[in-house]
């Protein structure tokens, strides 16, 4: 047989069955325990040791998927998934993912799929407007905020004027570089700094205030101290919606310092950025005129299936200067073509804009606003109800994140969380604030209703 797929009949039938299964799944995810109940190695032990020489029909794969793999799936699309940051594989997003795989286009150059490139440009312009962001921002989609922050730091490092692209960082006399972020910034900032040769000693975690926000005075002091010691400040990160608590760093105050000190300001709004589709949350952008780059994750709270993270920057020329490298076989003659490969590490690029477009077009911004507002309302209500419970302390609530603890102590807090997770009815994760454990409830799935959030209360008599 010379062709891989000689006919589309089997595909059509299996595809119809799969869509039916997905529709039933989405309508009844609540039947499954949120957190997978398997032990390490259990799924692996169910699978054959070696690949098959002959193929099997799709029906056999569907059976194996259900019996062997599904039990090991933690259901991120469950309406009572509140761990880390809840996300949504929305129906619109799922359909777009199907089309993306069918087209299998690779957007390395404009000409390798003009629609991929131009839809990315258009959806990111729409998203910018939808979130009330300034219109002088260039946008690009990559897989994750971790990668986007890495790209931003690489550009900031290049912008220092040390010709790191040309000469590298070793074998010459360079000042030690410094990256500043709050003690509550996401670990991806640290990882980017490690990968880019800043070194762990160059990462400065600035203290936060009583509301877990970066303290600008502490930032200023640290920068002055490092300059006096001969170090070169390179990158400041303000997080608007931190991972542990949803706290919002004061972008304006941090930005004023960054501008004065000529340091690249990166705003990490991977989580809460999506909430600014509602005008009442746009206060988090106050001071954004100082930002050189911003990250927003539609795959977190904008109902777009993972992965889809957006990097906006006012300095696309610096990003390009950092990353553009055009091999002979990629050269084109028309310089008016936008080739996104010039603005990052990846050459091959998925058609991620398609799912963002499907989500924005199918639901419309008003529907998205409604769901986000409900999530914030549920979080506020949960915080109120938790405060009314004896023995429970609400440590913080911001956007759709609530963190609480049991006054009986860390052990009791963690035991309560384990009990909730073992029930299969909900899934929560924890954090540590000022040395004490807290249970995080992060609401963000498009199917979540109050009754799902209220499950937290059932376990706290």
Ligand X SMILES: Cc1ncc(COP(=O)(O)O)c(C=O)c1O
Binding residues vs ligand X (CB under 6 A): 85, 144-146, 186, 188, 239, 242-243, 268, 270-271, 297, 309
Using CB atoms within 10 A of its CB, is residue 179 exposed (0-12), middle (13-18) or buried (19+)? Answer: buried
Closest CB to ligand X among residues 231, 237: 237
Closest separation between CB of residue 423 and ligand X, Å? 24
Closest CB to ligand X among residues 88, 242: 242
Closest separation between CB of residue 299 and ligand X, Å? 7
Closest separation between CB of residue 306 and ligand X, Å? 8
Closest CB to ligand X among residues 297, 413: 297
Whether the CB-CB separation of 321 and 158 falls below 8 Å is answered with yes
Closest separation between CB of residue 302 and ligand X, Å? 12
Cis peptide bond prior to 307, omega within 30° of 0:
yes
Closest separation between CB of residue 389 and ligand X, Å? 27
Q: Looking only at Cα atoms, what is the longest distance across the chain? A: 72
Show the tokens assigned to 418: 């384990």
Closest CB to ligand X among residues 243, 339: 243
Closest separation between CB of residue 108 and ligand X, Å? 22
Closest separation between CB of residue 57 and ligand X, Å? 36
Closest CB to ligand X among residues 209, 261: 209
Closest CB to ligand X among residues 33, 241: 241
Closest CB to ligand X among residues 100, 146: 146
Structure-derived torsion over alpha carbons of residues 300, 303, 309, 310, reported in degrees to the nearest 10: -120
Closest CB to ligand X among residues 358, 399: 399
Closest separation between CB of residue 84 and ligand X, Å? 6
User: How many CB atoms sit inside 10 A of residue 152's CB?
Assistant: 31
Closest CB to ligand X among residues 244, 322: 244
Closest CB to ligand X among residues 164, 359: 359
Closest separation between CB of residue 444 and ligand X, Å? 11
Chain position carrying tokens 């793999």 = 69
Say if strands 401-406 and 429-433 run parallel, antiparallel, or are unpaired: unpaired
Closest separation between CB of residue 168 and ligand X, Å? 27
């Amino acid at each position: 047989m010379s062709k891989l797929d000689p006919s589309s009949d089997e595909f059509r039938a299996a595809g119809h069955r799969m869509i039916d299964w997905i529709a039933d799944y989405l309508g009844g995810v609540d039947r499954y325990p949120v957190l997978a109940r398997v032990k390490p190695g259990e799924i692996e032990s169910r699978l054959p040791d070696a690949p098959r020489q002959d193929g099997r029909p799709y029906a056999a794969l569907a059976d194996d998927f259900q019996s062997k793999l599904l039990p090991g799936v933690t259901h991120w699309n469950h309406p009572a998934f509140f761990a880390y940051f809840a996300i949504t594989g929305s129906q619109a997003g799922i359909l777009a993912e199907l089309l993306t795989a069918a087209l299998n286009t690779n957007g390395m150059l404009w000409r390798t799929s003009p629609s991929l490139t131009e839809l990315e440009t258009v959806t990111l312009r729409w998203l910018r407007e939808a979130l009330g962001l300034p219109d002088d921002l260039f946008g690009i989609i990559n897989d994750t905020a971790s990668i986007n922050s890495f790209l931003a730091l690489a550009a900031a490092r290049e912008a220092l004027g040390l010709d790191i692209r040309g000469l590298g960082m070793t074998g010459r006399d360079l000042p030690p570089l410094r990256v500043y972020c709050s003690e509550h910034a996401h670990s991806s900032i640290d990882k980017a700094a490690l990968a880019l040769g800043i070194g762990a000693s160059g990462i400065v975690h600035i203290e936060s205030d009583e509301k877990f926000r970066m303290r600008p005075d502490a930032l200023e002091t640290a920068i002055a101290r490092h300059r006096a010691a001969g170090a070169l400040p390179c990158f400041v990160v303000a997080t608007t919606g931190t991972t542990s608590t949803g706290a919002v760093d004061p972008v304006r105050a941090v930005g004023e310092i960054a501008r004065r000190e000529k340091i690249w300001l990166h705003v990490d709004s991977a989580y809460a950025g999506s909430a600014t589709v509602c005008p009442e949350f746009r206060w988090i952008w106050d001071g954004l005129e100082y930002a050189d780059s911003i990250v927003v994750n539609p795959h977190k709270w904008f109902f777009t299936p993972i992965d889809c993270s957006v990097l906006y920057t006012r300095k696309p020329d610096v990003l390009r200067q950092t990353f553009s490298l055009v091999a002979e076989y990629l050269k084109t003659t028309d310089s008016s073509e936008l080739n996104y490969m010039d603005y990052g590490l990846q050459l091959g690029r998925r058609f991620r804009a398609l799912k963002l477009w499907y989500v924005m077009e199918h639901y419309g911004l008003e529907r998205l606003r409604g769901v986000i507002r409900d999530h914030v309302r549920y979080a506020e209500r949960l915080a109120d109800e938790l405060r009314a419970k004896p023995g429970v302390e609400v440590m913080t609530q911001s956007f759709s994140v609530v963190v609480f603890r049991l006054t009986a102590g860390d052990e009791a807090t963690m035991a309560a969380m384990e009990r909730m997770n073992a029930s299969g009815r909900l899934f929560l994760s924890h954090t540590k604030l000022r040395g004490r454990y807290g249970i995080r409830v992060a609401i963000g799935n498009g199917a979540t209703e109050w009754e799902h959030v209220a499950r937290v209360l059932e376990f706290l008599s």
